[in-house]
């Protein structure tokens, strides 16, 4: 009995330590999950959110990885997975009333996009 391994080509791009909270990134990520790459680029381009610029750049990088490293066709690509995980939080202190201090949390995130080909 011979087992044939089916190799599923996937291209990924990862951005680590991005200075935006994962919560803000997930709003835009949910819009493009499962979409064709051209449609996803159009959605991201016209979405007025802070994370859309970052995701657009990362999506273009993933497309370039797919075409150059994995010989995938641009027309067949779609966003199979996109997720944003929380990165390390930078803790800063801001002076507050009566000599006290308030902690400011500058959150970071790790964003990953995985592209696959439709068959």
Q: What is the DSSP string of 21-52?
A: -HHHHHHHHHHHTT-BHHHHHHHHHT--SHHH
Q: Mean of the per-residue pLDDT values for the chain?
A: 92
In a domain, 91, yes or no: yes
Total domains in the fold of the chain: 1
- For 4, residues 6+ apart whose C-beta sits below 8 A from its C-beta are none
In a domain, 2, yes or no: no
Q: Are 54 and 15 in contact (CB under 8 A)?
A: yes
In a domain, 26, yes or no: yes
In a domain, 20, yes or no: yes
H or E segment and range at residue 55: helix 50-69
Quick: pLDDT tens for 3-43: 665 566 899 999 999 999 999 999 999 999 999 999 999 99
Q: Which pLDDT belongs to residue 77? A: 94
H or E segment and range at residue 62: helix 50-69
Q: Which pLDDT belongs to residue 42? A: 96
In a domain, 4, yes or no: no
Q: Which pLDDT belongs to residue 7? A: 60
Q: How many CB atoms lie within 10 A of CB 49?
A: 15
Q: Which pLDDT belongs to residue 119? A: 79
State the residue range of the domain holding 66: 10-117
């Amino acid at each position: 009995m011979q087992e044939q391994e089916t190799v599923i080509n996937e291209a990924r791009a990862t951005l680590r330590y991005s200075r935006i909270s994962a919560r803000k990134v997930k709003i835009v990520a949910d819009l493009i999950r499962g979409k064709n790459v051209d449609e996803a680029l159009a959605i991201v381009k016209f979405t007025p959110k802070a994370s859309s610029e970052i995701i657009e750049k990362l999506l273009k990088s993933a497309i370039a990885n797919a075409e150059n490293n994995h010989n995938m066709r641009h027309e067949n690509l779609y966003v199979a997975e996109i997720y944003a995980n929380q990165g390390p939080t930078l803790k800063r202190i801001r002076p507050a009333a009566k000599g006290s201090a308030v902690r400011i949390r500058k959150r970071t995130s790790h964003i990953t996009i995985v592209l696959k080909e439709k068959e």
